[in-house]
Amino acid sequence: MIYLDNNATTRPWPEVVDAMLPYLEEKFSNPSSPNRYAREVAVAVRHAREHVAGLLGVEPEEVVFTSCGTESNNTALYGTLHALPDRNRIVTTRVEHPAVLNRLPGLEERGYEIITIPVDGEGALDIDMFTRALDSRTALVSVMHANNETGVIFPVEELAEKTHASGALFHTDMVQVAGKLPVDLKTTAVDLASLSAHKFHGPKGVGVLVVREDVDLNPYLAGGEQEYGRRAGTENTPGIIGVGIASQIAMEGLSGMQQVQGLRDRLEEGILSSISNTRVIGGGQPRLPNTLSMYFEDIEAEPLIALLDMEDICCSAGSACASGGMEPSHVLSAMGLSRDEARHVIRFSLSRMNTGDEIDRALDLVNLCLRKLRNA
Ligand code: PLP
């Protein structure tokens, strides 16, 4: 298999799996229990927290383990608004992940005014409109660091500064950024940040919400006092150990992303030069080094992906099957693509596990499959 769908999920590093196994077997204790076995597990959880904190440039106490990126986003949106009771506006963007967008109607029902900032055809945020949306009514801003479909990067540090100047809180969904770009939250005005372990070669079912020291967070799940009272529920200790190791490997290997970018560029240039009527979605914007969203004018994504799948190449489409039809992605729609155009978009997303040989083979096979479809 040539796996080019790493924005959907990544393969865990073998070191991650090896480190987790003992915590599914003999080291099964509940870290809150008062015995020496449990204390050993609690120490390992502490080390994992330190590794995650190191990856992000925050204090270990600012790391809250959750069950996924979705829970982290939901917690950020629901757990902070009580701190600014006189403000009733939430500002976000049209291209956020559904883990943010699908939370908004519930907040609107509670009386919040929701402003979703548009993007242009390249996926760049309308910064003027963003700035105008910030005033003494704004409680919370949630803007993703990088888009999962296009890889387009938003200037979150600048947006966080502007947000703080208006007295509001700033949350960023950086699920697609961890392990791909260097991050140092300490020097920024970011108050809350979401991560998901399975997007950077950690296990599924573990998320992180960074909650900066001065942010008053109401737990989303009521229950025990785990995670310093900010997230109830017995810790997923194997998963937490896994995300700790994944963070350590991500930090040590961040320079490897240059090589990933080289491979992505090779794939991009290879497709652009060998296949007519193609273009890169968001190609004029700063993008994640691993992501390539391609528009093929003459070819629909669905049959191309099916042919690539038969050749053992995994990638994603810009539209998803929903209730019998192809629903265009909200991200591509926000960028102005028509329903039909969105059906012609394929996303390739690489990781540090990909090799040059794989990319050359993928390029050959994309060309072969396209020829088959054109002659069909
Ligand atoms: N945010 C972004 C940008 C994502 O890409 C994803 C996953 O696709 C999520 C949030 C949700 O993460 P999880 O799968 O851990 O719930």
pLDDT tens track for 164-208: 999 999 999 999 999 999 999 999 999 999 999 999 999 999 999
Alpha-helical runs (H) found in the chain: 14-24, 36-56, 69-78, 98-101, 104-109, 127-132, 156-165, 226-229, 237-252, 256-274, 301-310, 330-334, 339-342, 356-375
Residue 174 CA to ligand 1 center (angstroms) comes to 9
Coil vs helix vs strand at 65: strand
Residue 51 or residue 325, greater confidence: 51
Residue of 144, 148, 194, 195 to mutate, ligand 1, most atoms within 8 A of C-beta:
148
Q: For residue 276, how many other CB atoms are within 10 A of its CB?
A: 10
CA distances to 80, 272, 337 from 295, rounded to whole Å, are 39, 10, 10
pLDDT of residue 327: 81
CA-closest residue to ligand 1 atom 12: 69
Q: What is the pTM of this model?
A: 0.97
Q: Whose CA is nearest to atom 8 of ligand 1?
A: 8
Residue 319, pLDDT > 60, answer yes
Could you tell which of 9, 67, 70, 150 is best to mutate to test the pocket of ligand 1, judged by most ligand atoms within 8 Å of the CB?
70
With a cut of 90, say whether residue 318 has pLDDT above it: no
Phi then psi for residue 34, to 5 deg, are -90, 60
Q: Compute CA 132 distance to the chain's CA centroid, rounded to the nearest angstrom.
A: 27
The CA-based diameter of the chain, rounded to the nearest angstrom, is: 69
pLDDT at res. 376:
73
Place of tokens 């996924």: 68
Q: Residue 220 gets which letter from DSSP? A: S
CA of 102 to the centre of ligand 1 (A): 13
Atom of ligand 1 nearest to the CA of 8: 8
What does the block give as tokens for 182?
Answer: 């260097």
CA distance 342 to 302: 11
Predicted confidence (pLDDT) at residue 84 exceeds the cutoff of 80? yes
| 239 CA → ligand 1 middle, Å | 16
| Spatial distance between the Cα atoms of 86 and 242, rounded to a whole number of angstroms | 41
Neighbour tally for 344: CB within 10 Å: 24
| 330 alpha carbon – ligand 1 mean position (Å) | 15
| Catalytic (active-site) positions | 321
In contact, 250 and 179? CB cutoff 8 Å: yes
* Strands 316-317 vs 345-349: parallel, antiparallel or unpaired: antiparallel
Q: Of 221, 244, 232, 279, whose CA–CA distance to 54 is shortest?
A: 244
